[in-house]
Amino acid sequence: MPVANTPENKMRCQCMKCPSFAGPPGFYCAMDKAGKPVEKKGCICMPCAVWKENNLSGGYFCESGKAP
């Protein structure tokens, strides 16, 4: 099930704190990938509450886009 794009989930999103953050909008697991190339400097998807609560796998949604 896809991640719900809700204001509550977006507030808990950790994308803005990520060392690989590629710019707005963030909340990549629910929205879409970054609009520019991602410079991989580490991924913090896994410790994010949204990631855990939605039983996601993998990371770098900034590069791959919405979680399936």
Q: How far apart are CA 67 and CA 58, in angstroms?
A: 9
What confidence score (pLDDT) does residue 17 get?
A: 96
What confidence score (pLDDT) does residue 19 get?
A: 97
Q: Which helix (H) or strand (E) holds 62?
A: helix 61-64
What confidence score (pLDDT) does residue 1 get?
A: 73
pLDDT above 90: residue 56? yes
Condensed to tens digits (0 to 9), the pLDDT of residues 13-27 reads: 999 999 999 988 899
| Residue 11 phi, psi dihedral angles, 5° rounding | -65, -30
Domain ranges of the chain: 1-68
- Around Cβ 20, how many Cβ atoms within 10 Å? 18
Condensed to tens digits (0 to 9), the pLDDT of residues 36-53 reads: 999 999 999 999 999 999
Global confidence as pTM = 0.90
Do 45 and 60 form a contact (C-beta atoms < 8 A)? yes
